[in-house]
Structure 1
Amino acid sequence: MDRHISAPVGRETAEELRAGDYVYITGTIYTARDAGHKRMYETLREGGDLPINIEGQAIYYMGPSPAREGRPIGSAGPTTASRMDKYTPELLDLGMGAMIGKGKRSQEVIDAVVRNKAVYFAAVGGAGALLSKCITSSEIVAYEDLGTEAIRKLTVVNLPVIVVIDSKGNNLYETAVKEYRKI
């Protein structure tokens, strides 16, 4: 089913989505990769505040290439989500609404998705140049010293993603394999 949603992604919206849905996101999302997640984790361990209000936010696991002239961002493809797994349950428990990446997630992340009625989306790896066309603005909002791994605030219009893990714990990576084996 094709769905058009707005970001930030509230729990009500996340609960309506099902594994396998094609979704087009419009609104504000944030980027964070390994180094940004590690820095947020360390900040929380030290009793500090996150650099963004995480409530309902969608975090895109992406570090862009440099922008071409006249463009807000360069290639913007997803990175492997499992590298953020040790940080993700805590961010979900703090209210993060969605994640965008590629690849499988740990059982701890899946449990946190269900517990918090969140959603995990996959973006198509290798399509970063095409995905960047959906980004109308990009600004670094935290950890500028991390370069491409700085946290960025993006404005997106119809960013195409697929629901991989829905708020009920349904996992497209598992159900798709079962369907394929039937064929």
Structure 2
Amino acid sequence: MAEPIKIHTPFTEEMSKKFHIGDAVLITGEIYAARDAAHKKMCEALANGEELPIDWHDKMVYYLGPTPAKPGDPIGSCGPTTSGRMDAYTPT
């Protein structure tokens, strides 16, 4: 197995062209988490002429689903969620 490819955000489109299916990567830097509900709110905001809370250009988003938090924890464990839920919002 090849050494993982190390990348640091921001993650540009040019950088993405260097990867292939099956590549292992180690990512450091800022990674935003958002799932379908967040994408829906962002698309609605844009449709209403509102600005988004962050500039998404060259940002990395992790589609995750949290589990319920244990008492005293702000969030439970997080794991990937189905990216297909975001397909309708991705072009925007």
Q: Normalising by structure 2, what TM-score?
A: 0.83
State the 1:72 CA deviation: 7.0
Mark the CA change 1:24 to 1:67 in structure 2 (over 3 Å): closer, same or farther. farther
Question: How many residues align structurally?
Answer: 89
Mark the CA change 1:22 to 1:4 in structure 2 (over 3 Å): closer, same or farther. same
For the aligned residues, what is the CA RMSD?
1.9
Structure 1 segments (4+ residues) deviating >4 Å: none
Higher percent of residues as strand: 1
Higher percent of residues as helix: 1
Correspondence for 2:35 among 28, 33, 47: 33
Structure 2 alignment gaps of length 5 or more: none
Please say if residues 68 and 74 of structure 1, whose CA atoms lie closer than 8 Å, have aligned partners that are also in contact: no
Mark the CA change 1:72 to 1:7 in structure 2 (over 3 Å): closer, same or farther. farther
Residue 55 of structure 2 corresponds to which residue in structure 1? Answer: 53
Correspondence for 1:74 among 59, 73, 76: 76
Structure 1 alignment gaps of length 5 or more: 91-183
Matched AA of 1:53: D
Residue 21 of structure 2 corresponds to which residue in structure 1? Answer: 19
Q: Normalising by structure 1, what TM-score?
A: 0.44
Percent identity (aligned): 47
